[in-house]
Structure 1
Amino acid sequence: MSNEERPDSLADQAAAWIPPWQRPAPAPPEDSPPPTDPAPVPPTATAADAEVDAADLGAQVPLQGRFPSKIDVVEERAGGRVGDDGESGEEDSAKGVTGEEVSGRDLRGDVTGKGVPDLGRKRSGARARPVPEPAPELDDAELRGALEAILLVVDEPVSELVLAQVLEQPAERIGPMLDEIAAGFTAAGHGFELRRAAGGWRLYTRPEYATYVERFVLDGQSVRLTQAALETLAVVAYKQPVTRSRISAIRGVNCDGVIRTLVTRGLVEECGTESDSGAYLYRTSIMFLEKLGLNSLDDLPPLAPFLPDDVEELADAAR
């Protein structure tokens, strides 16, 4: 048989072969009813289509007879072979992204890479709070008026730090302004004065008008401390912290009832116990400084001018 009479070879037949899905549909017979539109069927993805989608992502994903899953695509991106947006895997590692971090993320999207998280992007933390604008600085006249108004309504000495926080002004402006206000009250001859007491500032009546103030406030009522209470309070003030037995030894009489009275009035308070005997220790309170108009215990007058001349003889006689 010659080459001209031999039928087409297998290679020619394979080249001329048309797949069934590419063959034209046969024409319907003339007497058949017109076809109705079938329900749309989603196209079936093929291995070739999946390879094209993987190529769009910039990754060569081995299919191994199946479609690449979302985990496969992301692991391929995080494994160092292909970086985000065509970058190398070393650059992804420099950005601090590892395969373990990617596997724990929420992967939402299809095989084309939609919804795949950006591996090089760092998620920011909590939203930063807006920084409040600083309060406007008051001029001297307004600051003076604000301080005077506050000092008129306080019922206990107020510190410079508290005043600075309330007025939202620098603390270094408060002290000099209070000194200026106090000097102004004194120069003007007012019946009250501004002075430090118990670690703060408060308005007080002047000592020269104490008689009139006492007459108005007391109105015939006596609220003075007894002589025993005054002596006990003096011992506590100069010997604090001190126990009741020590006070009784100094005064020569029992002082338990007087101590209870002073504690009830808020002039004396407990401040722990003695390490050896376990007895309660007593000291003067902030109210004591406030009532006497003292800023600290260092302002107490010295005892030497009030001691008798023969104090040594009295001490020897007591022995």
Structure 2
Amino acid sequence: MTQETEAAVAEESVPVLPLRPALEAVLMVADEPQDAMALASVVGHPVADVEEALVALSQEYTAQDRGFDLRNVAGGWRYYTREAYAGAVEAFVLDGQQARLTQAALETLAVVAYKQPVSRARVSAIRGVNVDGVMRTLVSRGLVAPSGTDETSGAHLYRTTRYFLERIGVTSLDELPELAPYLPDMDDLEDELSALAGPGVEEKARAAENGPSSPTEPDSEPAH
């Protein structure tokens, strides 16, 4: 068998995913609008076919009166909740405002407060976990808000809001306590973190070292 034949057989053996379901799956997890070219490179279909499928999906959702809509905004496609059901979405969001923040959310909020403006990727790197879901919760609570983009990477930046200052009882970020006096020596850092975070920290640290580097935290906070 020649090299050309082997390459042809290998290419034919690669499964081609159905276009529409593949687009739906990708757009379901996309945090920002995606253009047809970017989507085509991911799903492995021609750009023209992708554009046609996106329009067809959008029309299909409208014809079926689905609770969500697929829109082409600012040159990119993204899912949005349909305006007719804004009342239900608003009730859900406002109800979530009554839930207390989890430890994960409080830690993420602290990183934003001291590192702002900061990208989600930077917060994830500092905390060692994927913080996308927690950041969405903080934004929906009005504690964190977008603050432009990074000039180098183009990543969206976030900072705390005036509502955050009101909730913690200060008038400006200058009133936040200095961190340096509370940071232990490197030799004592592990013990200090264990004492502050409670039992099980060492086990979690070992699991993080042996498992995936960026586990994902829940998207929402449970009510208490």
- Normalised to the residue count of structure 1, the TM-score between the two structures is 0.28
- Normalised to the residue count of structure 2, the TM-score between the two structures is 0.39
Larger radius of gyration: 1
Task: Say which structure is richer in helix.
Answer: 2
